[in-house]
Chain A
Amino acid sequence: MRSISFSLNGAPVTVEQVDPLQSVSQWLRSTGRTGTKEGCAEGDCGACAVLLSDLDAAGGPCWRMVNSCLTLLPMIDGRALRTVEGLEDEGGLHPAQAALAQRHGSQCGYCTPGVAVAIAEAYESGVPATPAAICGALDGNLCRCTGYRSIREAAREALCCRDGAEHGLMVAPRAPRAPSAPACGLPPSLDLEGRCRFLRPTSLAELLELRARNPEAQLVAGGTELGVLVRKKLAAPAALIATDGIAELRAIVERDDAWVVGGGATLSLLEEVLRASASATAAPILKMLRVFASRPIRNRATLAGNIVTASPVGDLAPVLLALDATVVCRSQEGERRVPMDRFFVGYRTTALRADELVVAVEVPKLPAGARFDTYKVSKRRDLDIAIVSAALRMELDQAGVVRLARLAYGGVAAQPVRATRAEAFLVGKTLEAALPDVLDVLKSEFTPIDDVRAGQEYRRGLVASLFHKHALGVQSGAQDEAPDFIVAAPWQADARSRALPHDAAAGHATGRALYVDDLAQRRPALDAWPVLAPVARGTITRLDTSAARALPGVVAVLTAQDVPGVNDVGAVRHDEPLLAEGTVLFHGQPVALVVGESVEACRRAAAAVVVEVAAEPPVIGVRAAIAAERYHNEPHLIARGDVTTALRESPHRMTGELLTGAQEHLYLETQAAFAEPGDEGDVLLHASTQHPSEVQAVVGHVLDLPRHKVVVVSPRMGGAFGGKETQGNTVAALVALAALATKRPVRMQLERDVDMTITGKRHPMLATWEAGFDDDGRVRAFACRMVADGGYALDLSEAIIDRALFHLDNAYLFEHARFEGRVAKTDTASNTAFRGFGGPQGILVVEDMLAQVAGALGLPPELVRERNFYPERGAVTHYGQALDDHRVPRLWHALKDSAGFGARRRAVDEANRGSPWVKRGLALTPVKFGISFTVGVLNQAGALVHLYRDGSAQVNHGGTEMGQGLHAKIAGVVMRELGLAAEQVRVMKTRTDKVPNTSATAASTGADLNGAAVMDACATLRARLAPVAAELFRERGGDADVDDLVFLHGFVRPSSLSGTLQVSLADLCEAAWRRRVSLSATGFYRTPDISYERARGRGKPFHYFAHGVALSEVELDGLTGMKRVCRVDILHDVGDSLNPAIDRGQIEGAFVQGMGWLCGEELRTTAQGVLLTHSASTYQVPTIFDAPDELHVTLLHDAPEPGVVHGSKAVGEPPLMLAIAVREALRDAVRAFGGAGPVQLPTPLTHEALWHAVQRRRGS
């Protein structure tokens, strides 16, 4: 058989010539069903989520969300599939979709189809509208934009709508729906041929026979491990035998003394059974399940599958070990019962024989009074692999003497193990008697390894401290308690033009919004895959593409020799070869490009390209570059006063050093571009870029084409954050080159690992500083040298280090300052723009310095900060810009009052006194951020506005939409400028043939620059329309003055007349056309009065400043280093907001992204320059649990900024730095563990780093 059948969104589908190893997501997308996205291809982001029919614990049909990227096509044979396109019905949007669209639950929208599916699963399957259940339902969906507050509240409203509870959605509730017969039963028998044979027996006898007959075949249940191997490692098993067609394997039976979990039972089913159980043993197992991978994985993965893979970590393996579970194995020979502690026999090996399978796992229930709990420590609490997991069980007698101990751990040895020495030590002693010494036994019981997740010392420490925690009975919100959130207070509605939702809100929620690859999948096109340099530095001695060219499906293999123009994609300095030529400049540098008929053909061919390099030792990291004196540029110096004297005369002096962490953008949509050769030697590119004009320039340069032959469209981006300002150039230039070489359209969306390997990150910067201050904490002098790790090429690093220097003052006045910055050259990918663009690094350094000053003096840090503030007016920055409206003090005092800082400070201190192991921390930090490109020429923008005869308008501007809501803000501006209704305004996709020579949408200036250009075009149109209107009014007997007309709500009327004299825009446009008046106008804007002299370090680089203040409260579990952000209050200054709801989304999203940078995201690179953390599974961005439990954002009211679009201020970047409040609150919590003097903290502040900080503070 070569075909499979299933139901797709209610319609029967048969797929012929099935490739059994194709994933459901690949099939959906390649057949034009592009609502389903792919963000990681390994089940770690949830963008690909779809609903699959299944059976619940009661045997009834249900929908389960699964990762379609890991689900192979044959697995859905006979089942029903519901994608985001199938959530809508005749009644319109599903409440899950309506809630996301109406509650600003999407920004870039790339995660949104998956989020909609996740909420829909919760809706259809009766998940209650409680915070814990909602977070649980969404723990498999990453969002990089929103910060999750809007998503969780949207989910709650959708579920309230279902339950008939109070909600504010405009949507008709509908009854939850289960999949309908016949797809809801067990899947039918299947024997599918192809490059992999896929067998699905429907009886155990048949399965055992197949197993015996096909020893090479792999058993597969949910395929969550297999899918990763197929997708990421191109694994191609010869045969697969699925176990999901066998009823008895899928069952879970609850006995009085145990649960018998069938070998094919999913973890979600286990959760359902445990939740309904009266046994006290269920809760600790459920606790571990809650943090086991994610909801969509648990919906497919099985308990048996988790243990047969014998992962050294295996979250559930320690649980089974501690409970003395039994594995029931069966073959045609018969049944064998293997005790759990004999099941694992070594690294990734078990006692299971080749002809056997696990038919069940018996999980005993514990007697009443047993002390049993489970713990998992990971870099991120949800959706992560454990650093150490533990299941700890003790049974004590009446006298408190330990009679039985089972201490089982994962992540500390080659396999999950019990700490038998410690167990033996405990038995016969009371806990009190055993306690100090058993910890030492535990610390030496294992020899765990250092790896990408954590170091040996931390793992060793956790083995002891998790037991300690269990013995003490300590529970923390950070590790043990369920997720929770408080619904933020509702915001008042604004005027329509300031309350527009994101222009694609509904498109995001329905999957209809088309991204670059979605457009490309709708057209016939070749695919491409880059060949990457195997080492970081060296000379290419051999590059042989002949074997690759000969492989099937390969159309071309391109190298630097095939570039007709200049082999360079550098943005500023021409130092970035498109394809390596002669030398290798960083690990992962593209060396060649394979172009072919499928991604897989290209990928296999890429592996066949021979690249030999005479490797040289690379320079990795900023310290190594400083030692080697390798720099991209000369130092930039900004100084005032006399630092040397002021330092000498200061009562106190302090020096410090801080290495700020790198950060990966992890936009959900990886770099993507699609090129179509035109018929005039031209090329049309769709690219996911913040800077279409630069892509145009680069492509012209590479292909030796004049720019008029290159048209670039940036339809929308699935997130960018600076990572698509220059880093998309390579992908766009490669597909353009391939399209011209093959004369066929070529598309490429980078696989996540390739994307992370070849693109730049946020710059790590090494700051060395000295401060002089007085007894009150007033800083008299501050000297700082910052060196940025630029990577192999200059890219934008010079402007980035400049911005770091411009922000080393943050909100503080330093009379004597000397700041020096320079960009180091290392042999890694070229670091690049990332939200804040150096500003965050500068502000982090000054906030770190002030915290240490406060610590040294024993003063409250907020007092030290206050004492150093710039005054509200009259001060001048270190580079000479006057501060005429410094709003930080006003925001600071207002937030302290409104958020109840004083009372909460006392409450936190009080709580900490009674809690030795879990501490709270509280901190307040400000931000002042300069708005403008510091490279002056970039501060210009263009627009093109067309009015049509029906009064509708098409608005084109140079800004790109990456989720920040720019188009909605611009549409609002046009509504006010031309008096149009929302329905009359359409903002078009960004194209270089509509508005030429644009700047990147960056530096938070998108709305400022493009909004002003659009206003200019609108003013031109108004000036042309006004005489026509006046003429019409005179014809009707009125006497209207051309200069006295109001354009409002779709009409034009004289402002001085209250009568009926008015004309609709539609009639006015028609009248203008009849009078042969042009209805199309361009607009232009350049920011006035800015300049900066780099050589002198003086000038006015910024048009104005944006301000904000944040108060954070955290909880820190001192035994594990795990943290929880309990509450955040933000007061932010966006001037008179162009769109408060969108600004709120920017503030919340930037804040959580900043938290990720400071407190969790960690990039690891080897000394050889190989990035180890190049996937969503090894690089942890915040999940829904990491969002603050309470997140209150308030905008400063009545705060117009003169000279900016409708009184507004930029918002994209500034709030990111408010997250420093979380880092400072963690410092406050660490301080509360004891010790004296300043608390030193590294970056990023991972759980491991926090644990070490607490250890140091406790003096152990």
Chain B
Amino acid sequence: MTAPDSGPTATKRTRLVRLLVNGATHDVAVAEHHTLLEVLRYQLQLTGTKQGCDKGDCGACTVLVADADNRRAPVLSCLTLAVDVEGKEITTIEGLATKGKLDPVQDAFDRCGALQCGFCQSGMMLSARALLDENPRPTLPQIQQALSGNLCRCTGYTKILEATLLAATRPAAAGEQPPKEPA
């Protein structure tokens, strides 16, 4: 199916919204009541962002949204209307690696084996990235605090904490914006 406005029952209001995702610009006809998560997954086909509970309790849907000062903060995309992030830079898990190189957080999660089923992992890593952007050398309690909104049912968290600590020892591609997608 293409845009949801073409369906037989779609009489809801739609708006043309410009979304800036991972450095690419998307002009999307967005139903005003649709969440950022829905638009990412079902209109832009960026399915790396997961839907775990749809009410902000699990953190699987975490993405990063930059503010006016270009500071990226974690946002629960299932609780955010797409029309409310118009024009803001959004980073999803698909945009975390830059120039084909893994982000140190991704690399660390890989090295530490901080995953099992992997469903929480994109949200978890984006939360960790937001923390490290803000605080490059966090303490363990600070990490625990920063990741407290992300549930993991498999790992028992130990390796996730280790991975975040390991990532903190490596420099991020600091201040670098995600590159434009190849045309």
Contact = CB atoms under 8 A, between A and B. Distances in A.
Contacts of B8: 8, 11, 13, 31
B55 to A, nearest CB: 25
Interface stretch (A14-22, A367-375, A711-719, A1080-1088): A14-22
A554 B183 contact: yes
A16 B1 CA distance: 15
Given A31-B1, A31-B6, A16 B14 contact: yes
Interface string B1-22: 1110111101100100000000
A744 B182 CA distance: 13
B11 A14 contact: yes
Nearest to A551: B183
Given A16-B14, A17-B14, A554-B183, A32 B1 contact: yes
B157 to A, nearest CB: 25
Interface in B153-183: 182-183
Contacts of A521: 1
B45 interface: yes
A27 B14 CA distance: 18
A1048 interface: no
A945 B3 CA distance: 41
A524 interface: yes
B183 A549 contact: yes
B146 interface: no
Interface of B: 1-3, 5-8, 10-11, 14, 29, 42-43, 45, 182-183
Interface residues of A, number: 21
Given A8-B8, A744-B45, 20 more contacts: A11-B8, A16-B5, A16-B6, A16-B10, A16-B11, A16-B14, A17-B3, A17-B6, A17-B14, A17-B29, A30-B1, A30-B2, A31-B7, A522-B1, A524-B1, A524-B42, A524-B43, A524-B45, A550-B183, A556-B182
A13 B10 CA distance: 8
Nearest to B26: A597
Interface in A722-769: 744-745
Contacts of B183: 549-550, 554-556
Nearest to A741: B182
Interface string A983-1014: 00000000000000000000000000000000
A30 B6 contact: yes
A15 B1 contact: no
B31 to A, nearest CB: 10
A318 to B, nearest CB: 44
B37 to A, nearest CB: 15
B5 A31 contact: no
B130 to A, nearest CB: 25
A10 to B, nearest CB: 11
A17 B10 CA distance: 11
Contacts of A30: 1-2, 6
A358 B7 CA distance: 38
A17 B11 CA distance: 11
B59 to A, nearest CB: 22
Nearest to B181: A555
Nearest to B46: A744
A1010 B3 CA distance: 43
Interface string A553-587: 01110000000000000000000000000000000
Secondary structure class of chain A's binding surface, majority of residues: mixed
Contact of A15 (B6, B42, B45, B182): B6
B45 A17 contact: no
Contacts of A8: 8
Interface of A: 8, 11, 13-17, 27, 30-32, 521-522, 524, 549-550, 554-556, 744-745
Nearest to B24: A555
Contacts of A554: 183
A548 B183 CA distance: 10
A17 B28 CA distance: 12
Contacts of A11: 8
Contacts of B42: 524
A17 B2 CA distance: 13
Nearest to A5: B11
A828 to B, nearest CB: 34
Which of B7, B10, B42, B183 is the most central at the interface, judged by chain A CB atoms within 10 Å of its CB?
B183
A554 B182 CA distance: 11
Contacts of B182: 556
Contacts of B29: 17
Contacts of B14: 16-17
A555 B181 CA distance: 9
Nearest to B16: A17
A836 B7 CA distance: 46
A68 to B, nearest CB: 16
Contacts of A555: 183
Contacts of B2: 30-31, 524
Nearest to A14: B11
A521 B2 CA distance: 8
CB-CB nearest 4 A-B residue pairs:
A524-B45, A549-B183, A13-B8, A30-B2
A523 to B, nearest CB: 8
A705 to B, nearest CB: 19
A485 to B, nearest CB: 40
Contacts of A522: 1
A8 B7 CA distance: 12
Nearest to A522: B1
B173 to A, nearest CB: 21
A13 B11 CA distance: 9
Nearest to A32: B1
Contacts of B11: 14, 16
A594 to B, nearest CB: 12
A17 B5 contact: yes
B181 to A, nearest CB: 9
A49 B10 CA distance: 25
Nearest to A19: B6
Nearest to B13: A16
Contacts of A17: 3, 5-6, 14, 29
12 contacts: A14-B10, A14-B11, A15-B6, A16-B5, A16-B10, A17-B3, A17-B29, A31-B1, A31-B2, A524-B42, A550-B183, A554-B183
A16 B2 CA distance: 13
B100 to A, nearest CB: 12
A14 B42 CA distance: 21
Nearest to A33: B8
Contacts of B5: 16-17
> For A16, A555, A556, which residue has the most chain B Cβ atoms within 10 angstroms?
A16
Contacts of B6: 15-17, 27, 30-31
B32 to A, nearest CB: 13
A876 B126 CA distance: 78
A745 B10 CA distance: 25
Nearest to A555: B183
A642 B78 CA distance: 86
Nearest to A743: B94
A17 to B, nearest CB: 6
Nearest to A521: B1
A11 B8 CA distance: 8
A437 to B, nearest CB: 66
A1107 B45 CA distance: 55
Contacts of A31: 1-2, 6-8
Nearest to B42: A524
Nearest to B45: A524
Contacts of A15: 6
Among A13, A521, A745, residue most surrounded by chain B Cβ atoms (within 10 Å): A13
A15 B7 CA distance: 7
A982 to B, nearest CB: 35
A869 to B, nearest CB: 61
A138 B140 CA distance: 77
A744 B1 CA distance: 15
A793 to B, nearest CB: 32
A18 to B, nearest CB: 9
A550 B42 CA distance: 25
A1211 B14 CA distance: 56
A556 B29 CA distance: 22
